[in-house]
Amino acid sequence: MLTGDIEPSIKDAVSQLPPQAAKDLLSAGVCVRCIFRLFGIRGQVYSFPTLAPSLIYSQLEEVIDVDESIPRCSVEANGSLGGSDTDLGFCTICLGILQFSYHDAKDKVMKNQSPSDMASTIAQSVKQEGHSISDFSLEISIPPIILENEHAVRLHLKSKYGNEGWMQESNSSQIISVKESLKFSLTGLVENVLDAKSSLSEFRIRMTYTLSKSPKTIQNIMEKNKRFKKLKHGNEKLHSDGTDAGDADMANDRAEEIVKRTLKNLGDQQPSVFPPDKVTEPCSLVVACSRASIFFGGRYLKYSRNVSQSRWIIDDERMGEASVEEIIGSNILPLCRGDAYKFHAAGREDIDVRMLGSGRPFLVEVQNARDVPSRTSMREIEVKVNNVGSGLVKVKNLDLVGSQGWNLMREGEAEKQKQYAALVWISRPLEDVDVETVVSLKEMQILQKTPIRVLHRRSPLERGRTIHWMNIERIAGSSQYFLLHLCTQAGTYIKEFVHGDLGRTHPSIGSILGCRAEILQLDVTDVKMDCFMAD
- What residues contact 337, with CB distance under 8 A and at least 6 apart? 130, 369, 370, 371
Helices marked H in 243-351: 248-266, 324-336
From CA 183, how far away is CA 455, in angstroms rounded? 54
Q: Is 411 exposed, middle or buried (0-12, 13-18, 19+ CB in 10 A)?
A: middle
Residues designated catalytic: 350
Instruction: Give dist(CA 259, CA 271) in Å, integer.
Output: 15
**Strand-strand pairing, 109-110 and 462-474:** unpaired
C-alpha span between 465 and 66 (Å, rounded): 86
Q: Are 208 and 141 in contact (CB under 8 A)?
A: yes
Nearest alpha carbon to residue 45 among 187, 189, 185, 193 = 185
Extended beta strands in 254-308, E state:
284-291, 294-302, 307-308
Identity at 404, one-letter amino acid code: Q
* Residue 183, H or E segment: helix 178-194
Say how many CA atoms lie within 13 Å of 96 toward its Cβ: 24
Measuring CA to CA, how many Å separate 71 from each of 19, 64, 76, 387?
12, 8, 9, 86
In SS3 terms, 18-54 reads as CHHHHHHHHHCCCCHHHHHHHCCCCCHHHHCCCCCHH
Who contacts 159 (Cβ-Cβ below 8 Å, separation ≥6)?
272
